Amino acid sequence: MAMCIGSSVAELVSAYPTAGGMYFVTKHVVPKEQVPIFAWIQGWCNLLGQTAGVSSVAYTVSQMLLAAASMNSNLDDDGNYSFKPTALQTVLLSIALLCIMGIICSLTTKSLHRIILWFAPINILASIGICIALLVLTPNKQSAHWVFTNVTDGSGWHSKAFSFLLGFIAVAWTMTDYDGTTHMSEETHDAAVRGPVAIQTAVVVSGAFGWMLTVTMCFCITDLEAVLKSPTGLPAAQIFLDAGGKTGGTIMWSFAVLVQFFTGCSAMLADTRMAYAFARDDALPFSK
């Protein structure tokens, strides 16, 4: 499904490579008299959705950083860490991260190009390295039968089918922003060709490595209840901690944090370029 959506967006990008993205494409794919309302709806949904997406990534990075701080604090007799982040600390750190991402996204196109060149290799190599390390370091791994056939109903609705569907929420959050590349079209050479290729490549690579990471982490869940009730606040952090201990877990976790931070920067790049294009067409308040 992700590939179908990505291919459809790639086709539109090849025909109309512009920073406006899908709201601009609306002009060419709906009846003329309906263009204003559909472009308005598409534009605002895109802008608000991307802004919410960037905020959610920053919030996640904040949680991951604070989980790392918990991992490296002292553990008391009750199994709780001496450092336990509050909601206020998480939000304030998220705001700080958004400011840092904003500064990075304000750099020149040439500077951004140098930074982004490092993102893909770090992402891919870190994913492979983490998978290998987790599988090697985790002593008591789950069976393949449990990983591929077991469904744990944690929905509260007493329905394994519903819980199975809930599992796709994480996929929907990850496999999204297909038109993110579109918004960089005006800063990309030969965007009509490179844009669609980038979109389809991203879907394939993200899907493959995402599946690999998900399966690896499922194998490395030694105690599901303990992982879900992790004192770090994040089940994924507990899996890393169980596998590599405080030092090894923190090293692996730091790469995951770095990749997530770069993801936030990429998402903000698309969001800011879309906002620029939307304002350029006088669609945002105070555009002039």
- At residue 197, the 3 state secondary structure works out as helix
- Say how far apart CA 270 and CA 264 lie, in whole Å: 10
- Please, which pLDDT band fits residue 176 given cuts at 50, 70 and 90? confident
Q: What is the pLDDT of residue 78?
A: 79
Q: Is the pLDDT of residue 113 over 90?
A: no
Average pLDDT over residues 129-155: 93
Q: What is the pLDDT of residue 41?
A: 93
Q: What is the pLDDT of residue 184?
A: 86
Backbone dihedral angles phi then psi of residue 222, each to the nearest 5 degrees = -75, -35
With vertex at residue 261, the alpha carbon angle to CA 250 and CA 258, rounded to the nearest 5 degrees, is 35
Q: Which fold has domain 1-281?
A: Amino acid/polyamine transporter I (1.20.1740)
Number of residues that this document lists for the chain: 288
Q: Is the pLDDT of residue 199 over 80?
A: yes
Question: What's the Cα-to-Cα distance from 128 to each of 134, 233, 236, 256, 258, rounded to whole Å?
Answer: 10, 25, 16, 11, 15
Q: What is the pLDDT of residue 197?
A: 92
Confidence (pTM): 0.91
Percent of the chain with pLDDT over 90: 57
Spans of all domains in the chain: 1-281
Q: Which residue type sits at 282? A: D
Q: pLDDT, tens digit, for every residue of 227-255?
A: 999 999 999 999 999 999 999 999 999 99
- Say how far apart CA 140 and CA 223 lie, in whole Å: 9
Q: Which residues share a beta bridge with 75?
A: 81
- Say how far apart CA 63 and CA 56 lie, in whole Å: 10
Spatial CB neighbours of 1, under 8 Å, sequence gap ≥ 6: none
DSSP conformation letters of 35-51: HHHHHHHHHHHHHHHHH
Q: What is the pLDDT of residue 282?
A: 87
